[in-house]
């Protein structure tokens, strides 16, 4: 059946309604049914569409619209290309200030649209620079925008990943907000250098006793900052700690604070890995860039194929769980971040500084596995000592909002020397039935 190209005639007031002649299976009949359900809204839209279509039927007017559109796009492209060129100019700081004076003041919505358009076009520029084999210029341009769309997405996804944690034995649907319960851990620079063969409780007691000594303590957010008397920049930090002492929570808090724009905003990208995840890739091959793309898809979507110009932090949590053959003495040297090889070769060359020597690395481990990393590859060794006595009480007051309940728990912990020592390890503070357990231990 042929469709009529003319508009449906409106019946005269006195005339009988006539059949439409349109099949109920036709597209027009479907549209009529939808319009019938949304009479008022569709009437407005119909008028708008009809008026738009009638306007677009005039080719000269359509040509005029697209000529103005072309002029606007060309002007936008020229301006953004000029800005990109200026940003790659060593004197960009001075020139950018003069450009800022000419910027028009926009409301929030228009400003967001302009930012979005600029970021989209910047991706196009970067992609074309890559195709033109101008990798250095592409990386430099990206480094000028640490708060780009890629950075926003990465931080947003890391916040979602680390804002909730499971304490002790994970129970579905029962996560804990990290910032609500996180209590500062005691971290020291250096290590004891002693081999302790005593019973684990005595080891914990020894750690607890040393936490009040005159050792240099370090705050989590300052892990890569040089301390007094240290001239060499810190690239690689190895953090030791017994099981359950809080090493993983420490790295999660470090990452979350960065993602929430609270600390270390000079860092442009932060990539947290666990050795459990890396173990699953034992038989696969990646380049370093490919490995980052595999775990952090935002960087791939942004077209970032080099990280030399960025300030980057790699976090590798749980070296003691590593099942990769980390042979630092018989592994080929690799310097190309785009060359594919096994994951263990990537890690060895990254740790040695052959790959991305400008990057910062943070590796956590139990003491027994720490010797897998050669001493010459580590700039600073730190040790997590858990909660000191004041922090034990602070944790329980955060965990149990009822002040009376928190006071009772703290009082019972103080009354048991063994329990008080054990609570130095955060994992012993995570039992959901802690009040009952404490009461039973106290009775014994």
Binned at pLDDT 50, 70 and 90, residue 102 comes out as: very low
Token couple for 67: 């000529």
Binned at pLDDT 50, 70 and 90, residue 427 comes out as: confident
Q: What is the dihedral of CA 393, 164, 173, 408, to 10 degrees?
A: 10
Q: What is the 3-state secondary structure (H, E, C) of 266-308?
A: CCCEEEEEEHHHHHCCCCCEECHHHHHHHHCHHHHHCCCCCCC
**Which residue in 268, 321, 314, 265 sits closest to 291, CA to CA?**
314
Rounded to whole angstroms, the Cα distance separating 191 from 382 reads 6
Q: What share of the chain is helix, strand, coil (3-state, %, to 5)?
A: 50, 10, 40
pLDDT, tens only, 227-251: 767 778 899 999 999 999 999 999 9
**pTM for the structure as a whole:** 0.67
Token couple for 334: 């690799």
User: For the CA atoms of the chain, what is the radius of gyration?
Assistant: 31
pLDDT, tens only, 135-162: 778 777 766 664 466 777 899 999 999 9
Rounded to whole angstroms, the Cα distance separating 326 from 346 reads 10
Rounded to whole angstroms, the Cα distance separating 389 from 341 reads 48
* CATH code for residues 155-384: 3.40.50.300
Binned at pLDDT 50, 70 and 90, residue 211 comes out as: low
In eight-state DSSP terms, residue 187 is E
6-20, 117-131, 170-184, 335-349: range with lowest mean pLDDT:
6-20
Rounded to whole angstroms, the Cα distance separating 76 from 321 reads 52
- For residues 342-354, give the mean pLDDT: 97
Rounded to whole angstroms, the Cα distance separating 384 from 289 reads 31
pLDDT, tens only, 2-14: 444 444 444 444 4
Segments making up each domain of the chain, as ranges: 63-89+109-145, 155-384, 389-443
Is the four-CA dihedral 234, 137, 286, 257 of positive or negative sign? positive
């Amino acid at each position: 059946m042929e469709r009529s190209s003319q508009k449906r005639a409106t019946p005269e007031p006195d005339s009988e309604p006539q059949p439409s002649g349109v099949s109920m299976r036709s597209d027009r009949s479907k549209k009529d049914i939808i319009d019938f359900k949304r009479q008022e809204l569709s009437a407005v839209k119909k008028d708008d569409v009809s008026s738009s279509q009638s306007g677009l039927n005039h080719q000269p007017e359509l040509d005029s619209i697209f000529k103005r559109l072309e002029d606007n796009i060309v002007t936008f492209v020229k301006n953004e290309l000029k800005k990109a060129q200026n940003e790659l100019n060593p004197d960009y700081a001075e020139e950018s200030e003069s450009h800022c004076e000419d910027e028009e003041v926009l409301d929030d919505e228009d400003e967001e649209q302009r930012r979005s358009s600029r970021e989209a076009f910047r991706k196009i520029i970067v992609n074309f620079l890559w195709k033109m084999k101008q990798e250095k210029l592409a990386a430099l341009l990206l480094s000028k925008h640490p708060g780009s769309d890629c950075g926003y997405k990465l931080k947003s996804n890391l916040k979602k990943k680390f804002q909730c944690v499971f304490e002790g034995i994970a129970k579905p649907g029962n996560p804990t907000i990290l910032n609500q319960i996180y209590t500062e851990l005691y971290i020291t620079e250096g290590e004891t250098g002693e081999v302790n063969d005593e019973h684990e409780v005595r080891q914990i007691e020894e750690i607890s006793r040393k936490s009040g000594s005159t050792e240099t303590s370090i705050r989590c957010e300052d892990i890569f900052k040089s301390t007094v008397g240290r001239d060499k920049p810190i690239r690689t930090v190895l953090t030791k700690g017994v099981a359950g002492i809080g090493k993983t929570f420490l790295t999660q808090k470090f990452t979350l604070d960065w993602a929430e724009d609270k600390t270390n905003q000079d860092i442009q990208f932060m990539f947290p890995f666990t050795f459990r995840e890396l173990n699953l890739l034992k038989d696969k091959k990646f380049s370093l860039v490919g490995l980052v793309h595999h775990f952090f898809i935002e960087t791939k979507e942004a077209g970032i194929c080099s990280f030399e110009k960025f300030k980057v932090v790699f976090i590798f949590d749980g070296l003691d769980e590593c099942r990769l053959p980390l042979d630092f003495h018989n592994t080929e040297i690799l310097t190309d971040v785009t060359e594919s090889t096994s994951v263990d070769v990537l890690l060895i060359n990254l740790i040695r500084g052959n790959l991305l020597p400008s990057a910062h690395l943070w590796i956590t481990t139990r003491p027994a596995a720490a010797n897998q990393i050669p001493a010459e590859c580590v700039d600073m060794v730190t040790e997590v000592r858990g909660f000191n006595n004041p922090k034990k009480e602070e944790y329980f007051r955060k965990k149990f909002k009822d002040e009376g309940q928190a006071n009772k728990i703290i009082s019972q912990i103080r009354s048991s020397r063994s329990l008080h020592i054990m609570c130095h390890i955060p994992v012993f503070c995570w039992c959901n039935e802690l009040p009952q357990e404490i009461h039973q231990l106290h009775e014994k």
